[in-house]
Amino acid sequence: MKFIKLLHATFYLCKMPVKNNISLKPYNTFGIDLNTKYFFEVKSVSDFKEAVAFSKTNHAPVQIIGSGSNVLFLNNFNGLIVKNGLLGKEIINETDSYLLLKVKSGEDWPLLVDYCVQQGWGGIENLSLIPGTAGAAPVQNIGAYGAEVKDVIEEVEVYDLQSGSIVTFSNNNCAFSYRNSIFKTSAKKRYFVLSVTLRLIKNSSAKLNYAPLQKYFAKRDQRSITVKEVSDAVKQIRRSKLPDPDELGNAGSFFKNPVVSEKKFKKLKNSNPDIPSYPIDNSQFKLAAGWLIEQCGWKGNRIGDAGVHAQQALVLVNYGNATGNDILNLAKQINKSVKDRFGLNLEFEVNVIE
């Protein structure tokens, strides 16, 4: 009887098991306790092809996840969760001034940054401690402390779910913009990122165009600051403001900072002289969503176990037993408050999975 039950609990693709009725709680940093009908961790391209074949045969929708740091599950998932387990990195070209590092998409991003910093390679040190995998970095065009990953991406290798072929996107073809890329817009859900190639700089100079970093290194000669010192500073600043998902369920910044036209910015500035802003170009300004949310009185507030972090209003947290819908309803209420007061719609940075 035990053997029969095991056969019902696990489906096999060649040598790789597809697990059945698996809890998603360990696979999302919000700690939402829901189940998925099927679960499969891929560790090679052939694994992924088998997962796609399984999903078609079983008429199961597919959801790919990395570290689960940017997803909010609302319900049990009646399909196949594919966990990205592609690991490995290699230098594919190197000169006296730079190197190209090809990184498999399942590599942990914070550990990758630490590895590059330890080698003295510059380019991603400002992106220290951003949770997630290397494959999610180009999709989201992750950024922090005055840097964006698009500035160091050479190319992105993907698997095309429509054609079954492997395609390489150059940086220019990724259509990068603020927290966005072709992989989130016109080609959303078409491609599975296999690897990312980063152009990293030897003897890199510190990038300190973000105010907290300028303040941190105010008494230092910028030319003497190492990539490790920048990384350590970023980590210290992040830890002082952002909760550890292992201690308090969250997915980092829930909302994107809104980008507005110069006309809209001037109108907001007239009625809100203290509004923080960052010029993107001559016609667009980025506003601080956290400040907007705080002005609406949400910082530190909670509804049941769903709350807004006390140190950073951009971060929504699960105090223990919040459901995905609890978090989503809180986000909607926050958005309504910001829209009513400032006339701005806050876009979710987190992917909501129904």
| Amino acid 13: pLDDT | 46
Closest CA to 119 of 141, 89, 144: 89
Across 181-203, average pLDDT? 96
Across 179-186, average pLDDT? 94
Distance CA 232, CA 41 (A): 33
Interior/surface letters 128-154, b for 16+ CB within 10 angstroms, e for the rest: bbbbbbbbbbbbbbbbbbbbbbbbbbb
Known catalytic membership, residue 253:
yes
Of 41, 125, 157, 349, catalytic: 349
Residues 258, 237: contact at Cβ < 8 Å?
no
Q: Which amino acid is at 56?
A: K
| Amino acid 210: pLDDT | 85
Of 179, 181, 195, 231, catalytic: 179
| Amino acid 223: pLDDT | 86
Domain of residue 34: give its range: 2-84
Across 176-196, average pLDDT? 95
Query: How crowded is residue 94: how many other Cβ atoms within 10 Å of its Cβ?
Result: 12
For residue 22, what is the domain's CATH number?
3.30.43.10
The total of structural domains in the chain comes to: 3
Handedness of CA 86, 92, 94, 98 (dihedral sign): negative
Identify whether residues 281 and 157 lie together within a single domain.
no
* pTM for this prediction: 0.90
Identify whether residues 115 and 206 lie together within a single domain.
yes
Identify whether residues 72 and 136 lie together within a single domain.
no
Identify whether residues 73 and 151 lie together within a single domain.
no
Query: How crowded is residue 317: how many other Cβ atoms within 10 Å of its Cβ?
Result: 25
Identify whether residues 200 and 115 lie together within a single domain.
yes
pLDDT (tens digit, 9 = 90+) per residue, 24-53? 999 999 999 999 999 999 999 999 999 999
| Amino acid 14: pLDDT | 47
| Amino acid 3: pLDDT | 35
| Amino acid 157: pLDDT | 98
| Amino acid 8: pLDDT | 39
Query: Does residue 103 surpass a pLDDT of 90?
Result: yes
φ, ψ dihedrals at 252, nearest 5°: 70, -150
| Amino acid 17: pLDDT | 82
Identify whether residues 145 and 8 lie together within a single domain.
no
pLDDT (tens digit, 9 = 90+) per residue, 60-84? 999 999 999 999 999 999 999 999 9
Known catalytic membership, residue 349:
yes
pLDDT (tens digit, 9 = 90+) per residue, 244-272? 999 999 999 999 999 999 999 999 999 99
From residue 2, alpha-carbon distances to 5, 92, 151 in Å are: 5, 49, 54
Across 217-230, average pLDDT? 92
Residue with tokens 């078409």: 190
Identify whether residues 187 and 220 lie together within a single domain.
yes
| Residue that is last in its domain, among 219, 241, 263 | 241
Across 146-157, average pLDDT? 97
Write out the two tokens for 272: 């809100």
Identify whether residues 101 and 211 lie together within a single domain.
yes
- Residue-averaged pLDDT of the chain: 93
Across 9-27, average pLDDT? 75
Strand order in the sheet with 315-318: 249-253, 315-318, 306-308, 302-303
Identify whether residues 99 and 72 lie together within a single domain.
no
Query: Does residue 11 surpass a pLDDT of 50?
Result: no
| Amino acid 7: pLDDT | 38
Residues 324, 72: contact at Cβ < 8 Å?
yes
Distance CA 300, CA 316 (A): 10
| Amino acid 280: pLDDT | 85
pLDDT (tens digit, 9 = 90+) per residue, 324-348? 999 999 999 999 999 999 999 999 9
Question: Is 301 or 203 the better-scoring residue by pLDDT?
Answer: 301
